[in-house]
Structure 1
Amino acid sequence: MSNETEQYEAPMRRAFDLATRGPLIGGNPQVGCVLVDHDGTIVAEGWHHGAGTPHAEIVALSALPKGMDAHGLTAVVTLEPCNHTGRTGPCSVALIAAGVERVVYSVKDPGATSGHGAQRLAEAGIAVGHGLLEAEGEALLHPWIEVMRRGRPWVTVKWASTLDGRAAAADGSSQWITGAAARQLVHEQREASDAILVGTGTVLADDPSLTARGDAGELMPHQPLPVVVGERAIPATAKLHAHPRGVLETHSRDLAAILNELQKIDVRRVYVEGGPTLASAIIAAGFADEYAIYLSPALLGGPMLAVGDLGIPTMDGIRRLQIDRIEQLGDDLFIAATPKAATPKPATPKEG
């Protein structure tokens, strides 16, 4: 990063702070933007409020003080300005029309259609700096970037179990393994998701409502879409039919196809609550991007494991995780983890 763009580190950090005010859910990333004058003073700022609303750059331009225009200003943005028309117009075009002198962004837009805004800006004669605090920008946008690169939603696999790994008693009963504090965090994680995946077996056994609820049982502002994985239809009396978002029955067990279809309807974050059969299938297929694990200090024994067969016959195939966070919730533990990159095996020396 050149000295010219290093002067924008403080404004970029402000843009990061603004970006986090935007929603995690929906098809669009969290983006922040500040407009800076030649003295380095922030004169306007904005962030993206969610799909279908103006992008951060447009919000910042609209926030300029009365009588001031953008000529000669620098736009500092967390993500490369978009270059396509979707629900809103291209931010690159809006910045050009506004007359900004320079654009500095942190992370390149990996989208095939939304990317290349920097090229359009440069072709219009606007100075462009990129890669400022890129590691921090990548961390902020990591799930969204991975969604764009892989073409499928970010998948969180959740389970609650006893310390000996049981998700239910031998008779199938499972309420409640964990306490109230742990269950409330689950509701918060549901609200931060676009969809909840559940298997038909879980619907038939537990008849869950899969709503996101507050401490007093009230519905939270955002409700994830319940998605039922499996070929069987769920009963007409199932509680899911009363869900505020309705219910999507896939009538399929093809996880890759299901995730692909969810991506097409702007589902970016999927929360898997479908019991051991669905969780194991997601993990075995390599679709688990992170884990939300709730452990109760209790023992049940018996056959009702939280995770079933992963198709791993030997230790060579073990799925190792990186622990990202551990939190005590009442008597329970919450563990946030992500898959750990496999360590290449050293080559076996040849004889002779």
Structure 2
Amino acid sequence: MQDELYLQRCIELAQKALGRTYPNPLVGSVIVYKDEIIGEGYHHKAGEPHAEINAINSVIDKDLIPESTIYVSLEPCAHYGKTPPCALKIKELGFKKVVIGAMDSHDKVNGKGKKIIQDAGIEVISGILEKECIALNKRFFTYHEKKRPYIILKWAESADGFLDKDFKPVSISNSLVNQFVHQLRADEHAILVGTQTALNDNPSLTVRNVEGINPVRILIDFDLKVPIDFKIYNNEAKTLVFNSIKEEEKDHIHWIKIEKDNFIPTLMSALYKEQIQSVIIEGGSFTLQQFINAGLWDEAIVIKNENLKLDSGTKAPHLDSKPFKNQTVRDNTLSFYSSDNS
């Protein structure tokens, strides 16, 4: 029971860095001596020390380490990247015991970290709160196991199922829901729209109503119809433009050539290559429906304004699935879907 308690604390710590560690996973670590936490830490961002190192550095009396247990939500790394392997540091300090939440499916780790520690004669237990630790890194695991980003579909519709009024932008979600949407942007790695949404709405796709890092912007614009002075091209975030005309990198804008045929699988391969771990598909209706029809999504969030009728315009996508949760925020209803339940 104590192991679960300390692993839960690891998860809480790891979540503090949501949206800031890409392409690295979210990891938390706790060090316990005689049922007392003497150190804790989490991975703040890529290139900085990992959770285990931050936890070790926070221990005031290092002499207690050989008699302590280190808890970590994800298997300690076994390879040299921007930082040395955590498994070697744990071996060097000679912890009494290591408790791991989930094993790391990344081919550079995948059991190697655990083996280094075990071979050093240190007791290792893994699979504690495994389901919760895997859920914490659903983006990381999807990316490495399915070779594609974690896909979140998102749109706002009127009570009668339209995305706009007479094909012109209209405000559908309320201010509280807008704040939620901006938090979602801050949490995820990238955000994607098609040509028509970019032309109709001229969105900047940045984080404004909350604190956070702007997601990578992805524009699907085969014929490069979106003018270069539109907000999506401003210098506030890295922008990937998938098109059929040119391949070029200029400052924060990367034009990537892609064929229209077999478009979605090709796009997934390209985003995998770009190390994009999660994407919010924000529109338009045609783009969203393509992902739904291909069965290529992990979560969907549909915002409905119960008091707004628009009568005509762009029809909302059709998702033949039942929500696992509904949440009412003033006059808006948020419905949450999972592909696991579809």
Query: Which bracket does the TM-score occupy, shorter chain normalised?
Result: 0.7 to 0.9
Give the Å deviation of 1:305: 0.7
Map 1:1-352; keep pairs closer than 5 Å.
7-25=2-20, 26-37=22-33, 39-68=34-63, 70-116=65-111, 117-170=113-166, 172-214=167-209, 220-233=211-224, 234-251=226-243, 252=258, 253=260, 254-297=263-306, 298-302=308-312, 304-307=314-317, 319-321=320-322, 323-341=323-341
Compare 282-291 and 324-333 and name the one that shifted more. Answer: 324-333
- Structure 2: gaps of 5 or more residues: 244-257
Task: Please tell me the residue identity of whatever aligns with 1:245.
Answer: A
Give the Å deviation of 1:66: 4.3
Task: Please tell me the residue identity of whatever aligns with 2:336.
Answer: A
Sort the Cα spacing of 1:189 and 1:126 in 2 relative to 1 into closer, same or farther, 3 A. same
- Aligned residue for 1:97, secondary structure, equals helix
CA deviation vs aligned residue, 1:67-93 (integer Å, no higher than 9, x gap): 536223211111111112222221111
Sort the Cα spacing of 1:67 and 1:128 in 2 relative to 1 into closer, same or farther, 3 A. closer
CA deviation vs aligned residue, 1:274-310 (integer Å, no higher than 9, x gap): 21011011111222111111101222233521116xx
1 CA distance for matches of 2:8 and 2:264?
38
Name the Cα RMSD after superposition: 2.0
1 CA distance for matches of 2:93 and 2:197?
54
Sort the Cα spacing of 1:340 and 1:64 in 2 relative to 1 into closer, same or farther, 3 A. closer
TM-score (norm 2): 0.87
Sort the Cα spacing of 1:17 and 1:106 in 2 relative to 1 into closer, same or farther, 3 A. same
Matched length: 321
1 CA distance for matches of 2:192 and 2:101?
33
Aligned-residue identity in percent:
29
Give the Å deviation of 1:328: 2.0
1 CA distance for matches of 2:235 and 2:151?
21
CA deviation vs aligned residue, 1:178-197 (integer Å, no higher than 9, x gap): 22222222122112121110
Sort the Cα spacing of 1:120 and 1:285 in 2 relative to 1 into closer, same or farther, 3 A. same
1 CA distance for matches of 2:191 and 2:60?
43
Residue 311 (structure 1) aligns with:
none
